[in-house]
Structure 1
Amino acid sequence: MQRATKYGPIRLKRWRHNILPNSRASMMSGLCILMVVVGLLAAPGLAHAQAINPFTAARDTAQPVTYTNPIIPGFYSDPSVVRVGDDYYLTTSTFEYFPALPIFHSRDLVNWQQIGHVVERPEQLPEGVDIYAPTLRFHDGTFYLITTNINRGGNVIMHAQNPAGPWSDAVWIDLPGIDPDLFFDDDGKVYSIGSDFELAQINPQTGEIISRSGPVWATTGGRYAEAPHLYKKDGWYYLLAAEGGTEEAHSVTIARSHKISGPYYSNPANPILTHVNRAGQQNPIQGVGHGDLVEDHTGRWWLLFHGYRTVIEGGVHHTLGRETMLAPVSWPAFGWPQINGNGTVTPTMQTATLPLKPIATAARSTDFTAPLGLAWNYVQYPAPERYRLDEQAGTLTLNATAGVLENPGSQPTFIGQRVTDPYFTATATLTFTPAAHEQAGLTLLNNGAHFDIMLVNVAGEINAQAILRFGEVEHRSKAVPLAGDTTNLVIKGRRDHYEFGVIEDNQYQKLETVSARYISSETVGGFTGTYIGLYTVSPHSLPTPAIYSKFTYTKDQESATVSDD
């Protein structure tokens, strides 16, 4: 159940001290106290450490621990979190990628491990997937997930006994707006509220609408208000929201009411999280917003939210998508929550946390001798005949159609993973003898824009070539003849640039270098982030199979430069 433990009223002891000069001792005692108070007020940095929000308490001064934002790197946007005992579960939006809605598990809110997906069978959502922000909740032994599937223009709810799956087929709910929330109240009633801020009582098993009420909050006036979440604490209903759009003006705001049906009154210190102000403008993390609050099992509060890391020095371009981040929350009884003391966050966070429990990092590389891991995704539902994993031979064979990467609706033959690091090297070993107009290779993909290093047919010979496509722009590198039909294709990420090349006879040859801005979300649009993946395209009814025998992805040191191999 996603609500706070109710705290009793705070009892403040009134402290009195007599500083009247009835004796020399009392005079000196009073003078010492006065000097201490004056000294504290004049101490450097004290004013900065005081809470900006006058309606909340100051930051926790417990011994800090260091962790790094993002806590889940790569395109994992719109996070929603729920606690069950000492365990925490989280999901994010996935848009056109399948399997959809990853489920992560943690014991400390910092280290997360993926354990499954909510949507892993096409029959769960027969219309296809284009999944916006979800809400994950737990009540009375059952996990619930509510979200928006834009392909049908509506909201759906699913449930499971085990968060790792399997999850039920989707039940459609006749609710307006996007980003629906799910709230279980003390009286047994269940509510949902979406981006139009209309409140509805629902049956979470059947999707039945029991009652509706008009908008309960007008928000603070920021554009694109969305992502509402309801919480109950100290007799108040709190309503969290995101405003300002998903770019630099993104923010988190909050309101509260004594009744779930409102009216809700805004926090005088809104927004409680944003980097659009002076304090956050030069921060390497931008676009912070879309949060979900959770109380840990020690009684401390946290905000899970997304933001993005900029890749162009002094600019706002980002390529990795909106990534999941974590910030501590001060939330006194009967007061307003305050995020990280001043409503901003940093890449390196120092705060008291739960005892950290590191987990093993999932393998990103494969020789295709075992089933593919949870990190792999397709664009829309895959046609099984296009993908054949032969674990005995150690190969993944892709069979092409005319579907192209620049049109996700054409269901291109593609399988890939999220890029999670500004500095990385990805390689793929490919055997391919292309016919005319066929291609296969390694691609960097973001919202239909893609940069490829591939094998093509040039005058009857096998050539390697880099092609960059974004919008109506296409750029081709020189084509390099290869000695055979098997080669290693390479893409290197170097924060603000990418490099494309091949390795043949243990010799690396660079074909092209391109600025990251051309595949950034600011250039290509959309709400996702870059994927690195394997693909093939053919106009022929009997396409040439593209046989991959190895894929590697490694995070590189930030000191790495282009052509450093």
Structure 2
Amino acid sequence: MKRFVLTLLACVAMLPAWAGEVTFTEVRYAGDDGGPAVGPTQYRNPVVAGFYPDPSAIRVGDDFYLVTSTFGYFPGLPIFHSRDLVSWRQIGNAIDRPGQIDYGNDELTRGLFAASISYHNGTFYIANTCFYCGGGNFIVTGKDPAGPWSDPVWLKFEGIDPSLFFDDDGTAWMVNNGIPEGKMRYDGHRAIWLQRFDAATKTMVGPRKVLVDGGADPASKPEHVEGPHLFKHDGYYYLTAAEGGTGEQHAQMVWRSRKVDGPYEPWSGNPSLTQRDLDPARPDPVTSTGHAQFVELKDGSWWAVFLATRPYRGNQYNLGRETFLLPVTWRDGWPVILPRGERVPVVLERPALPRTPQPIPTSGPIEWSERFAAEKLPPQWMTIHPPKQTWFGTGRDGLKLTPSSTPLGGHGSGGQPAYLAHRLQHHRATLTATLAPYQPEPGELAGLAVLQSERYHYVVGVEGGKEGTAIALYRRAGKDEAVSGQRIARIPLPSSQQPVSLRFRLDGPRLDVFYAVEPGQWKPVATGLDASILSNDIAGGFIGATFGPYAFRP
């Protein structure tokens, strides 16, 4: 079977573009958001830049593993490995088979919410919620964090953000966000629940119990307590969870107890981490800090991974929520990530661990080129929902896409756009794609997209029409616009017999678009466009912008 698939892919790669496919010979990325210099003993935040929210990290021996959310993208739940907590490399995805989970046809901001990773007796566990997928909460397991991971085992409890904790005696406990007991007292009133988990049968057992009702200070009516984790230190069980929603009011709270099932006492100095008290007009802000998980190193020091955002103007950011890292200080038996009123440092001293740099960094300046010559896509490339059929292939000639009749934003009708996505990781970035010679039929469009959501995106491509072949630029900026967007530029091409390169250049709220038919001879398609439509502040939702090859045929 494997030989047949490889042979099929090889045959697909040999087909000419006129056989109904579009060939992309290269995608290039270069991004650099500047900032202070990083010394040899220092690191830069975020440690994983771009749309990598809700981080969960663990240590197993000398190795660290990290998982983040993916919402409506597939593959889901990327797994990263590191030896120094700073330099990360993606080694796989926990949800990487289309049959593992049915995402449905919902919006991109649905799907796979905050995941948590844990380890016990040679087995890795990931607990997660598939929001609006119909199944709810589930767990997958694997012996190797790079995969394969099991099919989901669906768990019968309400809520989101499950996290699995193994006690010293091997007993397993699940904590999660859920609806409180009795009547909700206010909008956003939530609770943190606890229940036993039987690792042998992968079932929930025993009664469910509320550990936290509302938040650290119930009288203040805290909203959306979520993302809980349990850990043990010096005879105490510590419960940590975020409050205030995942925006600028985000804050990380801590409780502790002598017994795993409580009662839990909130720290009088809460929150352990927040930026919500700082001047909104401060330069180069880091905001929305929270959803943290604590990790103990072999030397007894503690660190925390957490999500945060980097706005370029007001609360506008195109990158989504990113993964940050800070040391933890213990104060009178309580873990403090950052003292109240202090700003998240961008550059600080590294953990006392041997450095393990990666071929492509996940922070700071990043530059790479992808020619898609391998037998399969690298693990960081994604589609909108799992593919229901084969419409792309890689190989000697590059990436081949079969155009879809479903445009970007049209997957709610049941189809799937022919779009391969990579996360945008900088506000100042240059994105380039090169198409092999391509003769589009009238109405066909193939090129490069940069997408925040179904309703907010740009596409520049080679388009066929009655007037001939042209470079066309489309923008969609709202639910009331056409699904395919509005064409805002068209430049005739004298010939379709040469490769065409397409480029987006982003600089915070500004977007410039170019094309080239001769290497290095870039010509403008449009300049000074509004890139802020790619921000969550305008587009809404929870995800970050992605970009990549796209092909449409009506």
TM-score normalised by length of structure 2: 0.81
Q: Aligned residue for 1:16?
A: none
Alignment counterpart, residue 442 of structure 1, candidates 439, 445, 448:
448
> Displacement, 1:203?
1.6
Q: In structure 1, what residue type is equivalent to 2:409?
A: E
Q: Aligned residue for 1:461?
A: 468
> Displacement, 1:396?
1.7
Q: In structure 1, what residue type is equivalent to 2:450?
A: L
Alignment counterpart, residue 181 of structure 1, candidates 136, 143, 163:
163
Matched, 1:339 2:345: no
Q: Aligned residue for 2:239?
A: 239
Percentage of identical aligned residues: 37
Assess, with a 3 A threshold, how the Cα gap between structure 1 residues 408 and 80 changes in structure 2: closer, same or farther.
farther
Aligned length: 472
Matched, 1:480 2:491: yes
> Displacement, 1:408?
4.1
Assess, with a 3 A threshold, how the Cα gap between structure 1 residues 407 and 255 changes in structure 2: closer, same or farther.
farther
Q: Aligned residue for 2:15?
A: none
**Preserved CA contact (<8 Å) 1:158 1:169:** yes
Q: In structure 2, what residue type is equivalent to 1:83?
A: R
Q: In structure 1, what residue type is equivalent to 2:355?
A: L
Q: Aligned residue for 2:33?
A: none
SS of alignment partner, residue 522 of structure 2: strand
Alignment counterpart, residue 125 of structure 1, candidates 69, 76, 101:
101
Q: Aligned residue for 1:26?
A: none
SS of alignment partner, residue 370 of structure 2: coil
Q: How does 1:294-305 map to 2 (within 5 A)?
A: 294-305=295-306
SS of alignment partner, residue 537 of structure 2: helix
Which structure's CA Rg is the greater one? 1
Matched, 1:501 2:505: no
Q: In structure 2, what residue type is equivalent to 1:379?
A: I
Q: In structure 2, what residue type is equivalent to 1:285?
A: V
Q: Aligned residue for 2:47?
A: 71
> Displacement, 1:247?
1.1
**Preserved CA contact (<8 Å) 1:194 1:228:** yes
1:18-72 per-residue CA deviation (whole Å, 9 max, x = no partner) reads xxxxxxxxxxxxxxxxxxxxxxxxxxxxxxxxxxxxxxxxxxxxx9942110000
Q: Aligned residue for 1:254?
A: 254
SS of alignment partner, residue 65 of structure 2: strand
Q: In structure 2, what residue type is equivalent to 1:231?
A: F
Q: Aligned residue for 1:535?
A: 550
**Preserved CA contact (<8 Å) 1:230 1:237:** yes
Assess, with a 3 A threshold, how the Cα gap between structure 1 residues 281 and 289 changes in structure 2: closer, same or farther.
farther
SS of alignment partner, residue 105 of structure 1: strand
Matched, 1:216 2:217: no
> Displacement, 1:113?
0.8
Q: Aligned residue for 1:421?
A: 426
**Preserved CA contact (<8 Å) 2:94 2:148:** yes
In 1, Cα distance between the equivalents of 2:351 and 2:417? 46
Q: Aligned residue for 1:404?
A: 407
In 2, Cα distance between the equivalents of 1:536 and 1:101? 26
The alignment yields a C-alpha RMSD, in angstroms, of: 2.1
> Displacement, 1:83?
0.4
Matched, 1:139 2:120: yes
Alignment counterpart, residue 370 of structure 2, candidates 366, 369, 373:
366
Matched, 1:511 2:516: no
Matched, 1:490 2:503: yes
Higher relative contact order (CA 8 A, sep 6+): 2
In 2, Cα distance between the equivalents of 1:348 and 1:475? 42
SS of alignment partner, residue 374 of structure 1: coil
Unaligned runs of 5+ in 1: 1-62, 540-565
Q: In structure 2, what residue type is equivalent to 1:502?
A: Y
**Preserved CA contact (<8 Å) 2:405 2:552:** yes
> Displacement, 1:205?
4.7
SS of alignment partner, residue 238 of structure 1: strand
Q: How does 1:280-319 map to 2 (within 5 A)?
A: 282=282, 284-312=285-313, 315-319=314-318
Q: How does 1:148-227 map to 2 (within 5 A)?
A: 148-150=129-131, 151-196=133-178, 197-218=192-213, 219-220=215-216, 221-227=221-227
**Preserved CA contact (<8 Å) 1:306 1:323:** yes
1:409-435 per-residue CA deviation (whole Å, 9 max, x = no partner) reads 432111121111222211111233222
Q: Aligned residue for 1:433?
A: 439
In 2, Cα distance between the equivalents of 1:93 and 1:131? 6
In 2, Cα distance between the equivalents of 1:278 and 1:429? 44
TM-score normalised by length of structure 1: 0.80
> Displacement, 1:279?
6.6
> Displacement, 1:376?
1.0
SS of alignment partner, residue 331 of structure 1: strand
In 2, Cα distance between the equivalents of 1:345 and 1:521? 21
**Preserved CA contact (<8 Å) 2:98 2:388:** no
Q: How does 1:46-125 map to 2 (within 5 A)?
A: 65-125=41-101
**Preserved CA contact (<8 Å) 1:279 1:344:** no
**Preserved CA contact (<8 Å) 1:124 1:170:** yes
**Preserved CA contact (<8 Å) 2:403 2:418:** yes
In 1, Cα distance between the equivalents of 2:373 and 2:40? 44
Q: In structure 1, what residue type is equivalent to 2:309?
A: Y
**Preserved CA contact (<8 Å) 1:157 1:204:** no
